[in-house]
A and B are shown apart, each in its own frame.
Chain A
Amino acid sequence: MSFNLDAKIPSGPLSEKWDKHKFEMKRVNPANKRKFTVIVVGTGLAGGSAAASLAELGYNVLSFCIQDSPRRAHSIAAQGGINAAKNYPNDGDSVRNLFYDTIKGGDYRSREANVYRLAQVSNNIIDQMVSQGVPFAREYGGYLDNRSFGGAQVSRTFYARGQTGQQLLLGAYSGMMKMVAKGKIKQFNRREMMDLVLVNGKARGIIVRNLISGELERYAADAVLLCSGGYGNVFYLSTNAKASNASAAWRCYKRGAGFANPCFTQIHPTCIPVHGDYQSKLTLMSESLRNDGRVWVPKKINDSRKPSEIPEDERDYYLERVYPSFGNLAPRDVSSRQAKFRCDEGLGVGPTKQAVYLDFRDAIKRDGKEAIAGRYGNLFEMYERITADNPYETPMMIYPAVHYTMGGLWVDYNLQSTIPGLHVLGEANFSDHGANRLGASALMQGLADGYFVAPYTIGNYLASTPLEKVTIEDNAFKDAENAVKLQTSKILGIKGKRTATDFHKALGHYMWDYVGMSRNEAGLKKAIDGIRKLKEEFWQDVNVPGDTGDFNIELHTASRVADFLELGELMALDALERNESCGGHFREEYQTADNEAKRDDENFTHAAVWEYTGQNSSPIRHKEDLVFENVKLATRSYK
């Protein structure tokens, strides 16, 4: 077996590729669009915007979400903002600048053509969202306001208080609801995708579990769009929502979709630290806080004084010290690692010593409490509710946490995976952020894929592919459904002694300790061995009460954990094979004298794309070479 990893990048100059491609792509005429059905899995920014846009064009859309309403997808939790190259503040921004910052921010491990297109459509997204009534922050003159975010020296981030993701998602959702009312979208809530159905090698449908009745359902279509988000919850503790999981993507991988760069995970620097082993998730504090907050630790080890008692010259504002030009706005991977270094040196603060301060004292002195409350009031309230500390009076305590996964299913320029007809959008794909994502770029990518890329490329696929008639009575559907049934009854039949969450937590420890912020060969091998054993134990000792014919929350959890156990191993393997450091992937063996990531461009300027070969054989690592024609590969520096 081998993958065809042709990225299908259009020829011609970078800035003309997308235009040229749009011209050359085949189109489905307006009257014929109603003859096609498209499945969209997930209703976050990518899925919601794609479903609405495809339905507006005239396609029949079947949309699925795991929550009780499409409005609850995890895009909703994004706080800080969305980037666009509008250059409204006149600070010299441009499409090329946004493209360059994103490529550099990703540590030169993303695809030039995709990233350029992302920057190109970024401006349309803002226009589109404003036209739908998204209440972005405004200046007194009525114009849109911007702020700055990590990894950039311009202010290109649009925001709606600390709830930008929510407002954008509700915009996309409202577009969906409009098309639901018109009958062009059929919405299915509380459904979880259990398998992808292939007919003649093409993605033609899905099997889902109705989470309320427990029944399996079959749906057929002409193309499938997977918009199921990232897999950060493989770490158990992350900033992801509890229902966020990898299963939809993982089942596609097992059906033949390549999984690219699974080890590229983003650890976000500003989260509320872990406080107990009962903890179920970690809460992010928006990166926008670093616009005004200063990050520091005491200079002295085991300094037990209150932060207010530590004088100025005994504080180490380490980001400002190490990266004078970017300061507190250094990119996420860099900032996270620096926090870890300080805590490893014994300079951490708080009861667990696994935290650093994020201090607003100087900003409040400079701009006044009211101005700071205007910018971050809701975030401060949220912090106080969780920790019982008031950040207006005492610095926040923060620590890095798993937040986003840059890796995902491999896609070409058309966002199609290695399976014809299976297109992958948003965080679920791998294409745009390389080894590290810049802040406020996830919302941009989800909406770019859903509003302005997939609606055209899906048309091209449908117009140029012979699609035989398929119904849910076909054997492919029966076989896929039976395989899911078999796995479910296997899980239910074990009746062991440990809960699925026990296994998930144990997996999380391996992942965080050995496949987290800092990785090395010995640790990764240990993780692989440990996870394999854990997987065996899971299949012998998990206990799931109840049966299938019911809203069985424990069964849902166990089924997801079974997939996380397999994915965790692949992530460790991918990290082991990538003998370099880049972006969020920090291999201790490959670092510069001052502890920065040391890339190996000669051997690793590629995306690693994994091919599934069966339960008992090792996956195969393929490569898509990344060609840089417009950007010179340089050592990333934020000093």
Chain B
Amino acid sequence: MASTKNMTLNLKIWRQKDSKAEGKLVDYRVENVSPDMSFLEMIDVLNQQLVKKGESPIAFDHDCREGICGMCSMMIDGKAHGGFKNTTTCQVHMRLYKDGDTIVVEPWRAKAFPVVKDLAVDRSALDKVMAAGGYVSANTGNAPDANSILIPKPIADEAMDAAACIGCGACVASCPNGSGMLFMGAKISQLALLPQGAVESPKRALDMVQTHDLLGFGNCTNHAECEATCPKGISIEHIARMNRNYLKAAFTYHEKKRSEGGG
């Protein structure tokens, strides 16, 4: 169980100079690791040691360090974010490990996420999926009074469950197919649940799914690894809702080309 004394850890960390270079696991030893450190603080300590020796520090993505920005990644011992329930890498604390442990740290592995350097990957494919329809087409302007759209609390809560996605990509990295369907399903489901978003729900589902597939993400074959690994506990029910929306749209959604001219 939880360690209370400082530890020595053996790390095997993926080093890769850039997207084209070959990578490999490199051994490091970090001493005097406090159980109260976060995982990233432990990497910070290692990086400071490397810099002092004039070596290149390990590149990794991180920013808010409080589990909300979705920037941190890392496969820790083969599991996205270390595999602790509802936890991002930045919120993993070293008290979860014990003295002498060997920990393997690798970048996200997915066709749609090429490695940029060491542990950092390119997740811009997620932005492209969003640009395909992950929004309500409401321009800035005179929106109706917020309370003119009533939303039952249970629906609002369910939409919020889906909206909690931080876009880290752990679902993709954990999926044997490298599928982005939990990420995408969460957005499609959130907006389909809300009256504001329901209006363009069919077109959204069709466009996003098509883009998702073109970007090299795989399909969902119900492994549910994504749900198990999602740091925000997002349920695969949202994939099911996405599928229902998509199927219905595929059969029923038609858009005729019309001229908008006139005067």
Contact between B143 and A130, CB atoms less than 8 A apart: yes
Which A residues lie within 8 Å of B255 (CB)?
none
Nearest chain B residue, comparing its CB with the CB of A239: B66
Contact between B140 and A56, CB atoms less than 8 A apart: yes
| Shortest 4 CB-CB contacts between residues of A and residues of B | A142-B150, A174-B135, A131-B143, A127-B143
Q: Total A-B pairs in contact (CB under 8 Å)?
A: 226
Contact between B146 and A126, CB atoms less than 8 A apart: yes
Cross-chain contact of B95 among A161, A243, A388 (Cβ < 8 A): A388
Give the residues from 168 to 213 in chain A that come closer than 8 angstroms, CB to CB, to chain B: 170, 173-175, 177-178, 180-181, 187, 189, 212
Give the residues from 250 to 307 in chain A that come closer than 8 angstroms, CB to CB, to chain B: 275-276, 278-281, 283-284
Contact between A68 and B156, CB atoms less than 8 A apart: no
Contact between A241 and B64, CB atoms less than 8 A apart: yes
A52 in the interface, Cβ–Cβ < 8 Å? Answer: yes
Shortest Cβ gap from A121 to chain B (Å): 11
Contact between A278 and B44, CB atoms less than 8 A apart: yes
Contact between B71 and A177, CB atoms less than 8 A apart: no
Give the residues from 30 to 83 in chain A that come closer than 8 angstroms, CB to CB, to chain B: 49, 52-53, 56, 67-72, 74, 76-77
Contact between A382 and B91, CB atoms less than 8 A apart: yes
Bound-complex Cα distance A75 to B196 (A): 24
Contact between A181 and B132, CB atoms less than 8 A apart: yes
Contact between B145 and A127, CB atoms less than 8 A apart: yes
Contact between A279 and B41, CB atoms less than 8 A apart: yes
Where the two chains meet, the residues of A that have a C-beta atom closer than 8 Å to any C-beta of B are: 49, 52-53, 56, 67-72, 74, 76-77, 86, 88, 124, 126-144, 160-161, 163, 165-167, 170, 173-175, 177-178, 180-181, 187, 189, 212, 241-243, 275-276, 278-281, 283-284, 381-382, 385-386, 388, 451-452, 455, 495, 497, 499, 501-502, 543-546, 550-554
Bound-complex Cα distance A275 to B41 (A): 12
Give the residues from 13 to 62 in chain B that come closer than 8 angstroms, CB to CB, to chain A: 17-18, 34, 36-38, 40-41, 44-45, 48, 50-52, 54-57, 59, 61-62
Could you pull out 18 A-B pairs where Cβ atoms are within 8 angstroms? A69-B126, A69-B167, A71-B70, A72-B64, A74-B63, A130-B149, A131-B149, A135-B194, A138-B153, A174-B134, A178-B137, A241-B69, A279-B41, A386-B91, A544-B51, A545-B55, A550-B17, A551-B18
Cross-chain contact of A71 among B61, B62, B167 (Cβ < 8 A): B167
Bound-complex Cα distance A497 to B135 (A): 50
Shortest Cβ gap from A493 to chain B (Å): 14
Contact between A70 and B127, CB atoms less than 8 A apart: yes
Nearest chain B residue, comparing its CB with the CB of A86: B146
Contact between B136 and A174, CB atoms less than 8 A apart: yes
Contact between B131 and A180, CB atoms less than 8 A apart: yes
Among B116-124, B174-182, B213-221, B239-247, the stretch that binds chain A is B116-124
Contact between B136 and A499, CB atoms less than 8 A apart: no
Contact between A212 and B131, CB atoms less than 8 A apart: no
Shortest Cβ gap from B217 to chain A (Å): 16
Contact between A130 and B126, CB atoms less than 8 A apart: no
Bound-complex Cα distance A124 to B54 (A): 53
Contact between A280 and B44, CB atoms less than 8 A apart: yes
Known pairs A69-B127, A77-B69, A283-B65. 11 more at Cβ < 8 A?
A68-B123, A128-B143, A132-B135, A133-B196, A140-B153, A165-B68, A278-B41, A382-B67, A388-B93, A497-B52, A501-B44
Mask, B140-159, CB within 8 Å of A = 1, is: 11111111011111001101
Contact between A553 and B166, CB atoms less than 8 A apart: no
Which A residues lie within 8 Å of B54 (CB)?
495, 543, 545
Nearest chain B residue, comparing its CB with the CB of A158: B146
Which A residues lie within 8 Å of B89 (CB)?
none
Contact between A212 and B116, CB atoms less than 8 A apart: yes
User: With A68-B71, A166-B68, A546-B56 in contact, is A385–B87 under 8 Å at CB?
Assistant: yes
